[in-house]
Amino acid sequence: MKTKRIGDATLYLGTMEETIGEVKADHILTDPPYLYIKTHDFDKEFDEQLLFEQAKRMLPDNGFIALFGRGTSFYRWNTRLADLGFVFKEEIVWDKRYTTTPCCNISRVHETISLHSRKGKIRRSKVPYIEQKEHDISSIIADIKRLKTAFNNTETMDGIIKLLKTGILEYKKSYKSKYCLCVSKESGNADRACLVMHSIIKGMNEKSIIFNTNNRRQLQHPTEKPVRLAERILALISNEGDTIYDPFMGSGSFGVACINTGRKYIGSEMKKEYFDIACKRIEEAVKAKQNELFKEVS
Protein backbone atom coordinates (compact mmCIF):
# COMPACT_ATOMS: atom_id res chain seq x y z
CA MET A 1 0.00 0.00 0.00
CA LYS A 2 1.51 3.31 -1.13
CA THR A 3 1.24 6.47 0.98
CA LYS A 4 1.88 10.01 -0.19
CA ARG A 5 1.78 13.19 1.90
CA ILE A 6 1.17 16.52 0.20
CA GLY A 7 0.86 19.48 2.54
CA ASP A 8 -2.03 18.73 4.91
CA ALA A 9 -3.22 15.83 2.74
CA THR A 10 -2.40 12.13 3.26
CA LEU A 11 -3.24 9.92 0.28
CA TYR A 12 -3.33 6.12 0.19
CA LEU A 13 -3.18 3.90 -2.87
CA GLY A 14 -5.38 1.09 -1.64
CA THR A 15 -8.94 0.06 -0.94
CA MET A 16 -11.13 1.42 1.82
CA GLU A 17 -10.87 -1.94 3.59
CA GLU A 18 -7.05 -1.77 3.57
CA THR A 19 -6.76 1.77 4.90
CA ILE A 20 -9.70 2.64 7.14
CA GLY A 21 -8.52 0.80 10.25
CA GLU A 22 -5.67 3.25 10.88
CA VAL A 23 -7.54 6.46 10.09
CA LYS A 24 -8.62 9.09 12.60
CA ALA A 25 -10.72 12.01 11.37
CA ASP A 26 -13.26 14.61 12.49
CA HIS A 27 -15.67 14.08 9.59
CA ILE A 28 -16.22 11.87 6.56
CA LEU A 29 -17.19 13.26 3.15
CA THR A 30 -17.33 10.63 0.46
CA ASP A 31 -18.92 9.47 -2.77
CA PRO A 32 -19.13 5.64 -2.50
CA PRO A 33 -19.85 3.31 -5.42
CA TYR A 34 -23.62 3.44 -6.03
CA LEU A 35 -23.60 -0.21 -7.17
CA TYR A 36 -25.85 0.20 -10.18
CA ILE A 37 -23.43 1.03 -13.05
CA LYS A 38 -22.50 -2.57 -13.76
CA THR A 39 -20.42 -1.81 -16.84
CA HIS A 40 -17.78 0.29 -15.02
CA ASP A 41 -14.89 -1.19 -13.03
CA PHE A 42 -14.95 1.64 -10.47
CA ASP A 43 -18.47 0.72 -9.29
CA LYS A 44 -17.38 -2.20 -7.10
CA GLU A 45 -19.06 -3.61 -4.02
CA PHE A 46 -17.38 -2.73 -0.73
CA ASP A 47 -17.72 -3.77 2.90
CA GLU A 48 -20.52 -1.41 3.92
CA GLN A 49 -20.74 -2.60 7.51
CA LEU A 50 -16.99 -2.10 7.98
CA LEU A 51 -17.19 1.45 6.63
CA PHE A 52 -20.00 2.50 8.95
CA GLU A 53 -18.68 0.70 12.03
CA GLN A 54 -15.30 2.35 11.50
CA ALA A 55 -17.05 5.70 11.03
CA LYS A 56 -18.60 5.22 14.47
CA ARG A 57 -15.17 4.38 15.88
CA MET A 58 -13.23 7.27 14.42
CA LEU A 59 -15.68 10.17 14.50
CA PRO A 60 -16.28 12.26 17.62
CA ASP A 61 -19.88 12.70 18.75
CA ASN A 62 -20.10 16.00 16.87
CA GLY A 63 -18.50 14.54 13.75
CA PHE A 64 -20.44 14.27 10.49
CA ILE A 65 -20.60 11.66 7.77
CA ALA A 66 -21.79 13.14 4.46
CA LEU A 67 -22.70 10.61 1.77
CA PHE A 68 -23.38 11.06 -1.92
CA GLY A 69 -25.69 8.38 -3.22
CA ARG A 70 -28.60 7.17 -5.29
CA GLY A 71 -31.05 4.30 -5.37
CA THR A 72 -31.39 1.22 -3.19
CA SER A 73 -27.83 1.27 -1.82
CA PHE A 74 -28.15 4.92 -0.75
CA TYR A 75 -31.28 4.28 1.30
CA ARG A 76 -29.70 1.16 2.79
CA TRP A 77 -26.67 3.20 3.91
CA ASN A 78 -28.90 5.76 5.61
CA THR A 79 -30.69 2.99 7.52
CA ARG A 80 -27.42 1.37 8.58
CA LEU A 81 -26.16 4.68 9.94
CA ALA A 82 -29.38 5.09 11.93
CA ASP A 83 -28.93 1.58 13.39
CA LEU A 84 -25.44 2.62 14.57
CA GLY A 85 -26.74 5.67 16.41
CA PHE A 86 -26.21 8.35 13.78
CA VAL A 87 -28.99 10.92 13.40
CA PHE A 88 -30.16 12.19 10.02
CA LYS A 89 -29.50 15.94 10.00
CA GLU A 90 -30.21 17.16 6.48
CA GLU A 91 -30.46 16.23 2.84
CA ILE A 92 -28.74 18.27 0.13
CA VAL A 93 -29.83 18.02 -3.49
CA TRP A 94 -27.15 18.75 -6.06
CA ASP A 95 -28.82 20.20 -9.17
CA LYS A 96 -26.36 19.61 -12.01
CA ARG A 97 -28.24 21.81 -14.49
CA TYR A 98 -27.76 19.18 -17.19
CA THR A 99 -29.06 15.68 -17.97
CA THR A 100 -26.76 12.83 -16.97
CA THR A 101 -27.75 10.72 -19.99
CA PRO A 102 -30.19 11.23 -22.87
CA CYS A 103 -30.90 7.48 -22.94
CA CYS A 104 -33.21 7.39 -19.92
CA ASN A 105 -36.97 7.92 -20.13
CA ILE A 106 -36.71 10.56 -17.40
CA SER A 107 -34.00 13.21 -17.56
CA ARG A 108 -32.22 12.98 -14.22
CA VAL A 109 -30.41 16.18 -13.30
CA HIS A 110 -29.68 15.70 -9.61
CA GLU A 111 -27.84 13.67 -7.01
CA THR A 112 -28.45 13.51 -3.27
CA ILE A 113 -26.16 14.01 -0.28
CA SER A 114 -27.28 13.01 3.21
CA LEU A 115 -25.69 14.48 6.36
CA HIS A 116 -25.57 12.43 9.57
CA SER A 117 -24.10 12.96 13.03
CA ARG A 118 -24.66 11.66 16.52
CA LYS A 119 -24.66 15.06 18.25
CA GLY A 120 -23.24 17.53 15.71
CA LYS A 121 -25.05 20.65 14.48
CA ILE A 122 -25.02 21.91 10.92
CA ARG A 123 -23.12 25.18 10.57
CA ARG A 124 -24.73 28.34 9.24
CA SER A 125 -22.94 29.07 5.99
CA LYS A 126 -23.13 32.16 3.79
CA VAL A 127 -22.96 31.92 0.00
CA PRO A 128 -22.29 34.99 -2.20
CA TYR A 129 -25.54 36.51 -3.48
CA ILE A 130 -24.81 36.03 -7.19
CA GLU A 131 -23.61 32.45 -6.72
CA GLN A 132 -26.78 31.57 -4.83
CA LYS A 133 -29.15 33.25 -7.29
CA GLU A 134 -27.36 33.06 -10.64
CA HIS A 135 -29.81 30.44 -11.93
CA ASP A 136 -32.90 32.32 -10.75
CA ILE A 137 -33.12 35.50 -12.84
CA SER A 138 -36.75 36.16 -11.87
CA SER A 139 -35.73 36.30 -8.20
CA ILE A 140 -32.93 38.76 -8.98
CA ILE A 141 -35.38 40.97 -10.87
CA ALA A 142 -37.77 40.88 -7.90
CA ASP A 143 -34.93 41.96 -5.59
CA ILE A 144 -34.04 44.86 -7.89
CA LYS A 145 -37.67 46.00 -7.78
CA ARG A 146 -37.61 45.89 -3.97
CA LEU A 147 -34.48 48.03 -3.90
CA LYS A 148 -36.12 50.46 -6.29
CA THR A 149 -38.91 51.11 -3.77
CA ALA A 150 -36.34 52.38 -1.26
CA PHE A 151 -35.89 55.62 -3.21
CA ASN A 152 -39.47 56.57 -2.41
CA ASN A 153 -39.37 55.53 1.24
CA THR A 154 -37.24 57.59 3.62
CA GLU A 155 -37.37 55.04 6.43
CA THR A 156 -36.23 52.23 4.14
CA MET A 157 -33.44 54.36 2.68
CA ASP A 158 -32.24 55.26 6.18
CA GLY A 159 -32.12 51.55 7.02
CA ILE A 160 -30.05 50.78 3.92
CA ILE A 161 -27.64 53.65 4.66
CA LYS A 162 -27.19 52.42 8.24
CA LEU A 163 -26.57 48.90 6.92
CA LEU A 164 -23.94 50.14 4.46
CA LYS A 165 -22.17 52.20 7.13
CA THR A 166 -22.29 49.77 10.05
CA GLY A 167 -23.13 46.37 8.62
CA ILE A 168 -26.06 46.15 11.06
CA LEU A 169 -29.48 45.07 9.84
CA GLU A 170 -32.19 46.77 11.86
CA TYR A 171 -35.15 44.69 13.00
CA LYS A 172 -38.22 46.83 13.62
CA LYS A 173 -40.49 44.54 15.58
CA SER A 174 -41.36 40.95 16.34
CA TYR A 175 -44.33 38.96 15.21
CA LYS A 176 -46.01 35.80 16.44
CA SER A 177 -47.09 32.93 14.23
CA LYS A 178 -49.54 30.35 15.52
CA TYR A 179 -48.39 27.75 13.01
CA CYS A 180 -44.65 28.45 13.06
CA LEU A 181 -42.60 25.24 13.01
CA CYS A 182 -39.55 26.99 14.49
CA VAL A 183 -38.58 26.55 18.12
CA SER A 184 -39.43 30.18 18.82
CA LYS A 185 -42.90 31.50 18.08
CA GLU A 186 -41.54 35.03 17.76
CA SER A 187 -39.35 36.22 14.92
CA GLY A 188 -37.74 39.52 14.03
CA ASN A 189 -39.07 41.56 11.14
CA ALA A 190 -36.89 43.70 8.89
CA ASP A 191 -37.66 45.85 5.87
CA ARG A 192 -37.58 43.64 2.77
CA ALA A 193 -35.45 46.03 0.73
CA CYS A 194 -32.96 46.14 3.61
CA LEU A 195 -32.96 42.35 3.68
CA VAL A 196 -32.10 42.28 -0.02
CA MET A 197 -29.22 44.70 0.47
CA HIS A 198 -28.01 42.68 3.46
CA SER A 199 -27.95 39.48 1.37
CA ILE A 200 -26.00 41.26 -1.38
CA ILE A 201 -23.41 42.50 1.13
CA LYS A 202 -23.17 39.55 3.51
CA GLY A 203 -24.27 36.67 1.29
CA MET A 204 -27.21 34.30 1.67
CA ASN A 205 -27.74 31.30 3.90
CA GLU A 206 -26.93 28.01 2.19
CA LYS A 207 -29.96 26.19 0.81
CA SER A 208 -30.88 22.52 0.63
CA ILE A 209 -30.64 22.65 -3.18
CA ILE A 210 -27.21 23.56 -4.55
CA PHE A 211 -26.85 24.47 -8.22
CA ASN A 212 -23.43 23.61 -9.58
CA THR A 213 -22.35 22.49 -13.04
CA ASN A 214 -19.35 20.33 -13.92
CA ASN A 215 -17.38 21.09 -17.04
CA ARG A 216 -17.84 17.65 -18.56
CA ARG A 217 -15.02 18.17 -21.08
CA GLN A 218 -12.51 18.56 -18.23
CA LEU A 219 -13.61 15.62 -16.08
CA GLN A 220 -10.87 13.17 -15.13
CA HIS A 221 -13.16 10.58 -13.52
CA PRO A 222 -16.56 9.26 -14.68
CA THR A 223 -18.32 10.32 -11.45
CA GLU A 224 -16.20 13.36 -10.56
CA LYS A 225 -17.89 15.93 -8.31
CA PRO A 226 -17.35 19.70 -8.55
CA VAL A 227 -14.79 21.12 -6.13
CA ARG A 228 -17.06 24.08 -5.33
CA LEU A 229 -19.91 21.75 -4.43
CA ALA A 230 -17.63 19.96 -1.96
CA GLU A 231 -16.49 23.30 -0.49
CA ARG A 232 -20.08 24.28 0.22
CA ILE A 233 -20.84 20.95 1.90
CA LEU A 234 -17.67 21.21 4.00
CA ALA A 235 -18.82 24.63 5.22
CA LEU A 236 -22.00 22.99 6.58
CA ILE A 237 -20.36 20.12 8.47
CA SER A 238 -16.87 21.22 9.51
CA ASN A 239 -14.53 24.00 10.64
CA GLU A 240 -11.15 25.14 9.36
CA GLY A 241 -8.42 22.85 10.69
CA ASP A 242 -10.70 19.79 10.88
CA THR A 243 -9.59 16.51 9.31
CA ILE A 244 -11.79 15.07 6.57
CA TYR A 245 -11.63 11.42 5.50
CA ASP A 246 -12.68 10.23 2.04
CA PRO A 247 -12.38 6.44 1.59
CA PHE A 248 -13.35 6.62 -2.11
CA MET A 249 -11.11 9.43 -3.32
CA GLY A 250 -11.41 9.05 -7.09
CA SER A 251 -9.66 11.96 -8.81
CA GLY A 252 -9.37 13.99 -5.60
CA SER A 253 -12.05 16.70 -5.85
CA PHE A 254 -12.81 16.53 -2.12
CA GLY A 255 -9.10 16.75 -1.34
CA VAL A 256 -8.77 19.91 -3.44
CA ALA A 257 -11.81 21.36 -1.66
CA CYS A 258 -10.21 20.64 1.73
CA ILE A 259 -6.97 22.37 0.75
CA ASN A 260 -8.90 25.38 -0.59
CA THR A 261 -10.89 25.75 2.64
CA GLY A 262 -8.16 25.07 5.21
CA ARG A 263 -9.10 21.50 6.13
CA LYS A 264 -6.78 18.51 6.51
CA TYR A 265 -7.51 15.61 4.20
CA ILE A 266 -7.09 11.84 4.22
CA GLY A 267 -8.09 9.94 1.09
CA SER A 268 -7.76 6.44 -0.33
CA GLU A 269 -8.17 5.25 -3.91
CA MET A 270 -7.79 1.68 -5.21
CA LYS A 271 -6.97 2.48 -8.85
CA LYS A 272 -3.49 3.86 -9.54
CA GLU A 273 -4.71 5.87 -12.55
CA TYR A 274 -7.06 7.95 -10.41
CA PHE A 275 -4.66 8.03 -7.45
CA ASP A 276 -2.01 9.69 -9.64
CA ILE A 277 -4.56 12.22 -10.93
CA ALA A 278 -5.62 13.02 -7.36
CA CYS A 279 -2.01 13.52 -6.28
CA LYS A 280 -1.40 15.95 -9.14
CA ARG A 281 -4.58 17.95 -8.51
CA ILE A 282 -3.93 18.21 -4.76
CA GLU A 283 -0.29 19.20 -5.34
CA GLU A 284 -1.50 22.01 -7.60
CA ALA A 285 -4.06 23.10 -4.99
CA VAL A 286 -1.39 23.18 -2.26
CA LYS A 287 0.92 25.30 -4.43
CA ALA A 288 -1.91 27.69 -5.30
CA LYS A 289 -2.79 28.03 -1.60
CA GLN A 290 0.83 28.70 -0.67
CA ASN A 291 1.10 31.37 -3.38
CA GLU A 292 -2.10 32.97 -2.15
CA LEU A 293 -0.80 33.09 1.43
CA PHE A 294 2.54 34.50 0.23
CA LYS A 295 0.77 37.33 -1.61
CA GLU A 296 -1.25 38.18 1.53
CA VAL A 297 1.91 38.37 3.64
CA SER A 298 3.87 40.39 1.10
Residues 98 and 146 in one domain: no
* pLDDT value for 189: 75
Residues 11 and 114 in one domain: yes
User: Residue 75 and residue 62: Cα distance in Å, rounded?
Assistant: 22
* pLDDT value for 185: 46
Residues 183 and 118 in one domain: no
Domain that holds residue 85: 2-125+207-297
- Return the half-sphere exposure (C-beta side, CA atoms, 13 A cut-off) of residue 194: 23
User: Residue 87 and residue 104: Cα distance in Å, rounded?
Assistant: 34
* pLDDT value for 104: 75
Residues 229 and 118 in one domain: yes
Q: Is the pLDDT of residue 227 over 60?
A: yes
Name the region of 230 (left: φ>0; alpha: ψ -120 to 50; beta: rest). Answer: alpha
Residues 147 and 19 in one domain: no
pTM for this entry: 0.88
pLDDT grade for 105, boundaries at 50, 70 and 90: confident
The domain tally of the chain equals: 2
Residues 255 and 285 in one domain: yes
- CA distances from residue 245 to 105, 130, 162, 255, 280 in whole angstroms, order as listed: 36, 31, 44, 9, 18
Residues 87 and 234 in one domain: yes
Residues 258 and 144 in one domain: no
* pLDDT value for 109: 87
Residues 28 and 119 in one domain: yes
Residues 190 and 213 in one domain: no
Instruction: Average the pLDDT over 99-120 and give the result.
Output: 87
Considering the chain, what is the average pLDDT of its residues? 89
